[in-house]
Amino acid sequence: MKSKNQRRRKGTPESADSTGPDACKPSGDVARAARSPDFESRDPHTRVYVGDCREVIPGIPECAAGKVDLVFADPPFNWKRAYDKWDDNLPDAEYLRFTYEWLDLCVGALSPTGSMWVNIPDTWAAEIVVHLKRRGLSMVNWCVWHYRFGQNTSGRFINSKVHALYFAKDHSRRTWNEKEVLEPSDRATTYFDPRTFTKGEGEAGLRVPLDVWYGQYWGRIQGNNKERRHNHDNQLPEVYLERVIRVSSNEGDLVLDPFLGSGTTSTVARELRRRSIGVEFSPENAASCWERIQKGTLRVKLGSPTRTGSAIFSGRSASEATINRLSELKAKRAAGEAGTPEKKNRPRLKAGRFGSGKG
């Protein structure tokens, strides 16, 4: 969870009335007013807006026109975190009102082939899933981001995951670039199974990732991690956003993050040649985000998709014959020899879009 942009301000007159029935409703005049970004650069077009995302999004032309290709949202969790200017302890009903409002705006911003990812804990995952299904979105995956550095507890099991909810406007037309996110399979790295190099479909020795995400570079950004940004105590790893952006968008597509926080989404999107729009309430956070966006990524690189494996166990022992066979198969694959059964004639995805032919 990143630093959040969408909370009641402490010690202001607005916060005194924030529990009323209209507390989560933005002003109609403000919501309709178009505005210029507070930070902007080109090639690819990258914008950051400072303000309440419920007020900002309706004024962004591409959002109002439903032309956003990918939404990634990491909202406040309402976990009583001591953020600089924000009350992270809303009554449940108020928090859910707030959640449904920004979700609805993001649904409306999606293009017909667009996808939405929401990073959210156990506390609110079920409510968000039900709401997005009611809004007509199709659920593709209920993924889990697993990390090993959870906060210690004694009265319950330690939290070690957050849900990555993956929805699409149209399941059959969504962008899906599986080759961009393949990882080494356990068959290749642990069991040394020759069949992974002679299979009739997919890439030799690789697989589409599992729906539980973990491994090297996937931990929480803490301590002396080189990705860590000061004053952003809830920051997602670059590889998380790399996977989401690579698989659910194409170069030149438009990515929206309504809770920009430390700026990971826009930083990774820019490296991967996607246009992006980020919204951040705090002017200080927004300035820090922009500095990071300009500096660029530390791990993710456009021409080198992250291929770290997620096998739990180390490789098993293999006979000399098996090792020789694997070496032979790898050499053949590297040389471009066939060595695989002929694939059956069946429909294939077109240029990164299910059924649409859009590249």
pLDDT in tens, 15-71: 333 333 343 444 444 445 678 999 999 999 999 999 999 999 999 999 999 999 999
Residue 248 lies inside a defined structural domain of this protein: yes
Question: At 141, which CATH number?
Answer: 3.40.50.150
Residue 124 lies inside a defined structural domain of this protein: yes
Residue 359 lies inside a defined structural domain of this protein: no
| pLDDT over 90, % of the chain | 53
Residue 179 lies inside a defined structural domain of this protein: no
pLDDT at 99 (0 to 100): 96
d(CA 250, CA 329): 32
What are the residues whose beta carbons fall under 8 Å from the beta carbon of 161, sequence distance 6 or more? Answer: 144, 145, 146, 147
Q: How far is CA 340 from CA 195, 202, 204, 286, 344, in A?
A: 10, 11, 10, 51, 12
Burial of residue 217 (number of CB atoms within 10 Å: 0-12, 13-18, 19+)? middle
Residue 126 lies inside a defined structural domain of this protein: yes
Q: Hunting for tokens 């957050």 — which residue is that?
A: 162
Per-residue confidence band for 154, with pLDDT thresholds at 50, 70 and 90: confident
- What single letter denotes the amino acid at residue 195? R
pLDDT at 350 (0 to 100): 39
- The distance from CA 352 to its chain's CA centroid, rounded to whole angstroms, is 18
What's the pLDDT tens digit per position in 279-304? Answer: 998 898 899 999 999 999 999 999 99
User: Is beta strand 39-41 parallel, antiparallel or unpaired with respect to 46-50?
Assistant: antiparallel
Sign of the Cα pseudo-torsion (31, 32, 37, 43, in order) = positive
Number of domains in the chain: 1
Res 323 pLDDT > 60: yes
pLDDT, greater one: 205 or 346 = 205
Residue 186 lies inside a defined structural domain of this protein: no
Residue 48 lies inside a defined structural domain of this protein: yes
Q: Hunting for tokens 């990705």 — which residue is that?
A: 227
Burial of residue 31 (number of CB atoms within 10 Å: 0-12, 13-18, 19+)? middle
What's the pLDDT tens digit per position in 177-216? Answer: 999 999 988 776 776 676 666 666 778 788 999 999 998 8
pLDDT at 78 (0 to 100): 87
What are the residues whose beta carbons fall under 8 Å from the beta carbon of 17, sequence distance 6 or more? Answer: 23
pTM for this model (two decimals): 0.79
Is residue 319 classed as helix, strand or coil in its secondary structure? Answer: coil
Which residue segment(s) compose the domain that 144 sits in?
8-171+210-230+244-307
Residue 356 lies inside a defined structural domain of this protein: no
